[in-house]
Structures are given as C-alpha cells and as structure tokens.
C-alpha cells in the first residue's frame, strides 16, 4: 500500500479477530521497519515487549483497564522508553558514525559530551522526554508500516504502568508511553467514520506562535 493511503486509512481498531493470527515473521518485519525511525542522535532509546501468548495477554488486559482488544489482538506491544538509551547506545552510534565517515575520530569526545550534556542526568525530565518522544516515533512508524501491509493497530495509554512493570519484569526506571495492539479487524464489524479533526488554522501558525 502507498504510504499516503496507509496514513489516510489507518484507524484505531477496537475489535480484533481473535481467530486470525499474524502471518509468520510479520511482527519481526514490522519491528524492523519501525527500527528505521529517526531518533535523537540516532540513539534509539526504545525497547519492546511483544505479548503474543494468550495467558500473558490476559495478564496484560488486567493491567490495561480490562480492554478487550488486548486479549483479542494476536499481538500487543509494550512500547518502552529507556532514559538510559543515551549511555547504552552512544558508543555504538559514534563508532558507526566514525566508520561511515560522518565524523572524524577527533570529534568523538565532543559528540559524546554534547549528547550527555543535552539530555541531562539519567533521572531528569529532559532525559525522560527524550526517551518518550523517540519511542512514540517508533510506535507511529510501526502503526503506519502495519497498515501498509494490511495489518490494523490500536495505540493505548489506558493502563496501569506499575502493574505492567511488575507483571512483565520491566525495570522501574523505564517508561511505557503506550501499548500497541496489532492484528486484523473482526469480521462483521463496521468502523464508524473517523471522528472530529481540527482545522489546520486552529493550531498552525507561521513564523510565530499564535494564541
Ligand atoms: C497515545 C494514545 C493512547 C490511546 N489510548 C487509548 C486507549 O487506551 N483506549 C482506546 O480505546 N483508545 C486509545 N487511543 C485511540 C484513540 O482514541 C484514537 O486514536 C482516536 O480516537 C482517533 O481515532 P483513529 O486513530 O481511528 O483516527 C489512544 C491513542 C493514542 C495515540
């Protein structure tokens, strides 16, 4: 499917067909596509727990306000933003930049200082925002790529983060920006038309912010 068509036709699907699994390798393929998302300095501060086992989905549903789609979708991804992504991935990123000629070896120290300086202390709000914004882009790319291959999705932030962390062994310092369910629309379900979208002139201004 064309990208523009995938963007236009993507919807948050409430009812998944529990009898229709994802094709083999589809999840891996979509995760690989999402992994091409842009990120600050290429630091990729995301992690994913893919929940596909029926019992694990039941547990996840319990942590996610009992949302039926969590159990019905063949896969639900716990998107995890990692504030430690800076330290974890910085050296490999700089190595790659150096190898590919993005920077000269003598620039390496300046770049690592810039990254560490820009994103602040590990537990700072800046650092948490860094992790969440990049992981949200990963999630969006996943949803568009899914639609492009005929797979429907549903993002969710209706969940108890502490419950998910406890049940899925996610360390306390991580953040869960959203869950994303993936699968196929339940047969016989008709989607309502897309709801209200604001007109651009309500929220877009040029050159300077307009109240
Ligand atoms: C970050 C995020 C969290 C959301 N959380 C939920 C949720 O917990 N439960 C739900 O039913 N819908 C949730 N939604 C879906 C939105 O309600 C839906 O995207 C919106 O109504 C627009 O519909 P559309 O995606 O079909 O255009 C969420 C969407 C986003 C982007």
Each residue of 40-90: pLDDT tens digit?
999 999 999 999 999 999 999 999 999 999 999 999 999 999 999 999 999
Least confident window among 20-29, 47-56, 117-126, 197-206: 117-126
- The residue among 99, 95, 53, 92 whose CA lies nearest residue 76 is 53
The pLDDT > 70 percentage for the chain reads 100
pLDDT on residue 161: 98
Q: How many residues are there in the chain?
A: 211
The pLDDT > 90 percentage for the chain reads 97
On the question of pLDDT at 98 being above 80, the answer is yes
Mean pLDDT of the chain, nearest integer: 96
Residue 143: partners with Cβ closer than 8 Å, 6 or more residues away: 10, 153, 155, 180
In the chain the domains, ranked by start, together with CATH numbers, are 3-85+121-191 (3.40.109.10)
**Cα atoms found within 13 Å of the Cα of residue 140, Cβ hemisphere only:** 11
Distances (CA, A) of 32 to 13, 25, 27, 57, 115: 22, 11, 8, 23, 25
Residue 21 near ligand 1, beta carbon < 6 Å: no
Residue 9 near ligand 1, beta carbon < 6 Å: no
- Ligand 1 atom 17: residue of nearest CA: 12
Residue 157 near ligand 1, beta carbon < 6 Å: yes
CB atoms within 10 A of CB 99: 8
Quote the ligand 1 centre to 12 CA distance (angstroms). 6
pLDDT band (50, 70, 90) for residue 135: very high
On the question of pLDDT at 1 being above 90, the answer is no
- The residue among 74, 71, 45, 49 whose CA lies nearest residue 59 is 71
Residue 194 near ligand 1, beta carbon < 6 Å: yes
- Ligand 1 atom with the shortest distance to the CA of 156: 5
Regarding pTM above 0.95, the answer is: yes
pLDDT on residue 120: 87
Residue 42 Cα to chain centre, angstroms = 15
Residue 128 near ligand 1, beta carbon < 6 Å: no
On the question of pLDDT at 130 being above 90, the answer is yes
pLDDT band (50, 70, 90) for residue 211: confident
């Amino acid at each position: 499917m064309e990208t523009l068509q995938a963007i236009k036709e993507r919807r948050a699907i409430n009812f998944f067909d529990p009898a229709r699994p994802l094709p083999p390798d589809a999840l891996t393929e979509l995760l690989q596509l999402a992994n091409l998302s842009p990120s600050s300095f290429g630091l990729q501060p995301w992690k994913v727990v893919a929940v596909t086992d029926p019992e694990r989905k039941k547990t996840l549903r319990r942590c996610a306000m009992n949302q039926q789609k969590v159990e019905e979708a063949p896969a639900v991804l716990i998107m995890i933003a990692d504030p430690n992504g800076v330290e974890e991935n910085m050296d490999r990123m700089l190595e790659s930049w150096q190898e590919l000629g993005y920077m000269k070896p003598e620039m390496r120290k300046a770049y690592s200082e810039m990254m560490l300086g820009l994103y602040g202390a590990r537990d700072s709000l800046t650092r948490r925002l860094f992790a969440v914004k990049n992981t949200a882009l990963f999630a969006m790319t996943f949803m568009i790529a899914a639609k492009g291959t005929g797979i429907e999705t549903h993002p969710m932030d209706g969940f108890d983060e502490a419950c998910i962390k406890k049940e899925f062994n996610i360390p306390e310092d991580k953040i869960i920006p959203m869950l994303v369910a993936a699968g196929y629309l339940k047969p016989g379900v008709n989607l309502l038309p897309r709801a209200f979208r604001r007109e651009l002139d309500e929220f877009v201004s040029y050159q300077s912010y307009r109240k």
